[in-house]
Amino acid sequence: MTAPDETFSGRPIVAGVVEGEALVSTETISGFGGIDPSKGTVIEPRHELFGVCFTDKVLVFPGAKGSSGWSGFFQSTRLMGTAPRAMVFNVMTTKAVLGAIVTRVPSVVECTPDPVAAIRTGDWVRVDGDRGVVTILRRAA
Amino acid sequence: MRDGAEGGAVAAAMDLLIRYGEALGAERLCETRNVAGTMTQPSPAKAKLVEEGGWAKSFAVINLDCDDDIEIPRMKVPTCQLQHGFGKDASGLTSYPEQSIVLQGDAESYFSERGVNILATCTPYQVGNIPVRGEHCAWMESSAVVYCNSVLGARTNCEGGASTGAAGLTGRIPYWGNHLPENRFGTHHLAAGVPVDDFQEWGMLGYFVGDAVQEGRPVITGELVNPDLADLKHFGAATATAGGVEIYHIPGVTPEATSLEAAFGGAAVPETLVYGEAERRLVYETLNDQGESTDVDFILLGCPHASLDQLERVARRLEGRRIHSDTELWVMTPAAIRTMADRSGYTRAIERAGGRVLTDSCPAMSKAAPDGTRVMATDSAKQVHYLPAILGIEGWFGTLDECVDAAITGTWRGELSR
């Protein structure tokens, strides 16, 4: 049995089911001036994930901030092979929603309880972009 | 349109807009006849797609999220290209790649043949694209979006490259967020307890407001002194830099706020957050915390792109003077305003002093400053926020007078007035 706080129900916005290691940011993420699509890393000096690579990770974050280039920058991660494996976020903006779509990775939004508070970096999670469910399968050691 | 009756590109565009609209939870799409997006700016990903299948391939993948080989028809509704990379006028001034300038010129030919107006600026509202109040638009560029919603009272969300590409081909955009009247009322009330009376003060207030409200819809009152276009351009850009503001209201100035009460749509006015001396000083210090050396080698003006008035102010200050031999001064402006500045003598005055008037882009967009730049100075809160991080250089923020002084002496001597 999975404990109740280890399943998160939300709304699916990009279809597909994947499992992967979570990378959690408690801060919103910038596209333009915030990430380097050629490396798949966060480059904003003051950000908690500064220098961290999100490639192939399940990116769990509050939402997008900054320039309207957000979707284009995350789309570039797909085209350059550095994209995250899935996206989970709660703050609905046109930037993040369009970004998830053009990054073409399973994405679930508006989950309860708040995934940013409950999921920890390193947890192994499943993102079900067909049904809108995120599940922690294994806690980080 | 999704059925393909108008061709593959229009079908792909409609398919993307429906996926996007559904993901947002929009009830429907609405009609738009005003699209501002980006297609021509070179990037490594785009260059690869162009090599594979020309600009049609690039537009399909980047602007329509479609992998099929499709013909790109003429845009269905008026569509413009916002700022992009450096153009020919910047050739040889930085290490910005020459092949990117050539690639962009090629893109301009391709997209202008398909009905895209090459405004090449982050400020389309300065060069002929001035939406009317209530008009549904599909714009990107955060500083333009906030100007469009707030100062002009038109309606747009902060769109992206793909949604604007699809909107240009269909004349549709999701009816969501800022398009709905009930989503345009204020959420926060901020009051300026210090006079906000010049370009720098408006930028600092904007940076404070953006940081304070993040994605909120601020209503600002207090000692706000007669803002002009440049002041509000700077203010909005700063709100969308420190936060994600897409609409604000200033009662008595912006069109949707005839009064403080109207700005909140009749709902209770929330508790007031005050911008006083201490807050003003803190913003100033934050904007200057990327500066250490006072040996300035680059002055950047015109972020967002300078108005004709701003060019006149720069020209007047540089008249008969000479910029320091180790310092470069650039003013970024739309090509159309550059033409007016040429005819009005401003370009000549700036160039005689050793400065340059450049178009199409900015150092942050093109990730390029004059070779060897270590310390920049600017009068723009937005540019000083982004450029030092993007280029790994130091940055100072001050008034136009301080920037011009630094250009002439090579030394930064800025300090907060009052």
Say yes or no: A108 contacts chain B, CB-CB below 8 A.
no
d(C-alpha B166, C-alpha B173), whole Å:
8
Task: Name residues 48-87 of chain A within 8 A of B (Cβ).
Answer: 64-72, 75-76, 79-80
Write down which residue in B242, B264, B286 finishes a domain.
B286
Reported confidence tier of residue A54, pLDDT bands at 50, 70, 90: very high
> Across the interface, do B19 and A101 touch by the CB < 8 Å criterion?
yes
- Is B50 within a domain? yes
B266 in contact with chain A, both atoms CB, cutoff 8 A? no
Total domains present in chain B: 3
Tell me the CATH number at B336: 3.30.499.10
Which residues of A are known to be catalytic? 67
Quickly count: other Cβ atoms within 10 Å of residue B59's Cβ: 29
**Residue B199 near residue B313 (C-beta atoms within 8 A):** no
Note whether B262 and B325 are same-domain residues. no
Chain A CB contacts of B24 below 8 Å: 92, 94, 97
Task: Provide the domain limits for residue A129.
Answer: 4-138
Taking residue B410's Cβ as centre, other Cβ atoms within 10 Å add up to 17
Same domain, B263 and B146: no
* Pair B385, B307: CB distance under 8 Å: no
% helix, strand, coil for chain A, step of 5: 20, 35, 45
Distance (Å, whole) CA B99 – CA A109: 40
Say whether both B328 and B228 belong to one domain.
Answer: no
Do B416 and B278 contact (CB within 8 A), yes or no? no
Asked if B53 reaches chain A (Cβ–Cβ under 8 Å), the answer is no
Beta strands in B109-184 (DSSP E): 116-118, 138-139, 172-174
Confidence (pLDDT) at A5: 60
Closest CA to B378 of B70, B391, B308, A9: B391
Cα B403 from Cα B396, distance rounded (Å): 9
Question: Which tens digits make up the pLDDT trace of B351-381?
Answer: 999 999 999 999 999 999 999 999 999 999 9
CB B165, CB B56: distance < 8 Å: no
Same domain for B34 and B169, yes or no, is yes
Q: Say how many domains are in chain A.
A: 1
- Answer yes or no: do B161 and A66 touch at CB < 8 A: no
Query: Which CATH number fits the domain that encloses residue A22?
Result: 3.50.30.10
How much is the average pLDDT of B40-55?
94
Q: Is there a contact between B74 and B168 (Cβ–Cβ < 8 Å)?
A: no
The pLDDT tens digits of the residues spanning A55-104 come to 999 999 999 988 899 999 999 999 999 999 999 999 999 999 999 999 99
Average pLDDT of the residues of chain B: 97
Residues of B in contact with A45 (CB under 8 A): 389
> Looking at the whole model, is its pTM more than 0.80?
yes
DSSP strand pairing (A64-65 vs A107-112): unpaired
Neighbours of B54 (CB within 10 A): 14
Residue B32 has pLDDT above 90, yes or no: yes
Same structural domain, B85 and B126: yes
Closest partner CB to A72 (pick from B20, B48, B160): B160
pLDDT of A141 reads 83
Residues from chain A that touch B140, judged by Cβ atoms under 8 A, are 68-69
The boundaries of the domain holding residue B238 are 185-286
SS3 of residue B264 by DSSP: coil
Q: Is residue B79 part of a domain?
A: yes
Of B57, B28, B46, the residue nearest B84 (C-alpha): B46
Longest pairwise C-alpha distance within chain A: 43
CB contact under 8 A, B160 and A94: yes
Grouping H, G, I as helix, E, B as strand and the rest as coil, residue A101 is: helix
Using CA atoms, how far apart are residues B214 and A21, in angstroms rounded to an integer? Answer: 29
